[in-house]
Structure 1
Amino acid sequence: MMSISSERVAIITGASRGIGASIARRLASDGMAVVVNYAGSEKAAAELVDEIVNAGGRAISAQADVADPRAVRNLFDTAEAEFGGVDVLVNNAGIMKLAPVAQVDDADFDEMMAVNLKGTFNGLREAAKRLRDGGRIVNISTSVVGLYLPAYGVYAATKAAVEALTHILAKELGPRSITVNSVAPGPVATELFLEGKAPAMIERLEQMIPLGRLGEVDDIARAVSVLVGPDGGWINGQIVRVNGGVI
């Protein structure tokens, strides 16, 4: 059975800002040692680590491009060297570049596949080998999988593949009491989401949501906390659509 002591260690990819940073804060407040992964935002990651440590938690930052398998191996090496092992992986790193299918740029397609799909796969493959028994994996997907909104084609396709990996790896790792789930946010008021959107578009998105508001990063972090915490031990192979009721 999984230990619920403060010795549990979590890696959160893409954790220097937005949803990833909120997840790192929440898991640190839950008593976990956290590894704040970042790709290029070194200053933001360092500030988040300082915030967590000043609040009494344990945290380090670690640079890694999740699309690079060697960098992901090194990320796990760093966590093991600093904290003695890894119990939780949250695959949060991702990028979103929107365009109708007919107008998708090859470079944008390749980058989304590299980060969103291959990057998640790299983390899953390493976690499958190195997570301690009783561990937890959460992949961040999107509620666009199921909504099928125009201009989200490639982004949604990468996340649909992540959801398939979630279902299959849950079955593969179940004998070791490692759970694998996905959290699929709806529209969340992050800098990434709001960038480039007119107020009228944001208002239309809010009106789609039965609860009448955009999500906040803490809404997503709370769901992750349940899945990786002591109350989530029998939730496995699930896609949790945290979206205010958007179907």
Structure 2
Amino acid sequence: MNSAGKVAIVTGASSGIGRSTALTLAREGARVVVGFHSNAEAAFAVAAYITAHGGSAITVQADIFSKEGCQHLVDTTLQNFKQVDICVINPGGGWHPEPPDTLDPDTALEDIQREVSPVLYLLPLLLPRMYEQKSGRIIAIGMNHNLPSPAYAYNLAKASRYEAILQAHSQAWSQGVTMNVVAPGPVAEIETLTEAVAQSLHGDSWQNRTTTTSQDVAEAVAYLCSDAGRFVTGAELPLHFVG
């Protein structure tokens, strides 16, 4: 699943799914932008590991829920790497396990805004350039809607993110750009960078895992970014939790 020569923006890459995705795309040869909001130390550690092991990575602090933050993220990427081939949209709304009869409408609307706004802010910044080069990959992290969830607002917000991608994929595909959603259920946490690296290199913790981890999500992203995933677009790729 080679991504050599590609430039990948990964948001929320200081921990969790984003960190595993950044490590995995770097493993596949991509130059990686480690996007983060507040945990600079953790983001720097991810980028430092990548560069120390022959890769290329920078960190960019950006609020992807704001227009200005997304502009800064893309501008800094272009200043350093001159192109963007891959964008992984990761962070979103909060987990509020409330049924519709007791939800807080303001919190629910905030969740929807946080799921959709990065898509709406980033697409106008990325798609014109990807159209010019007739290639690109945009991948959003969603949720597996086939699994029961008590969080009505969260479910609705994730569905909104999926539709934001789905409704754009046909036009993007006509210009050589694929747009997909990777949709995990609950994901077992990888707590340390050391463990995240071990899983990304398919060490014992990866071989002996008993349920989905953030590395499973990262491998799905890597597939969609590879030449093998060239003709996959408008898809929601579900991952199941075993527990």
Using structure 1 for the length normalisation, give the TM-score: 0.83
User: Pairwise mapping of residues 90-239 of structure 1 onto structure 2 (< 5 A)?
Assistant: 90-100=88-98, 101-106=100-105, 108-131=107-130, 132-143=133-144, 145-150=145-150, 152-190=151-189, 213-239=210-236
Task: Give yes or no for contact 1:36–1:61 (8 Å, CA) kept in 2.
Answer: yes
Give the residue type in structure 2 aligned to 1:179. Answer: T
Partner of 1:26: 24
CA distance 1:220–1:5, change in 2 (3 Å): closer
Matched, 1:243 2:240: yes
Deviations 1:80-127 (A, max 9, x none): 110111000111122422231344345533432232221232223322
Cα deviation for residue 148 of structure 1 reads: 4.4
Give the residue type in structure 2 aligned to 1:220. Answer: V
Give me the whole-angstrom Cα distance separating, in 2, the residues matched to 1:147 and 1:6: 35
Partner of 1:35: 33
Q: Aligned match of 2:86 in 68, 88, 94?
A: 88
Partner of 2:198: none
Query: Number of matched residues?
Result: 222
Runs in 1 of length 4+ with deviation above 4 angstroms? none
Cα deviation for residue 41 of structure 1 reads: 1.0
Give me the whole-angstrom Cα distance separating, in 1, the residues matched to 2:242 and 2:15: 25
CA distance 1:10–1:177, change in 2 (3 Å): same
Percent identity reads: 30
Give the residue type in structure 1 aligned to 2:228. Answer: D
Q: Unaligned regions of 5+ residues in structure 2, if any?
A: 192-208
Cα deviation for residue 34 of structure 1 reads: 0.6
Deviations 1:36-70 (A, max 9, x none): 11111111111111011111110001011111112
- The CA RMSD over aligned residues, in Å, is 2.2
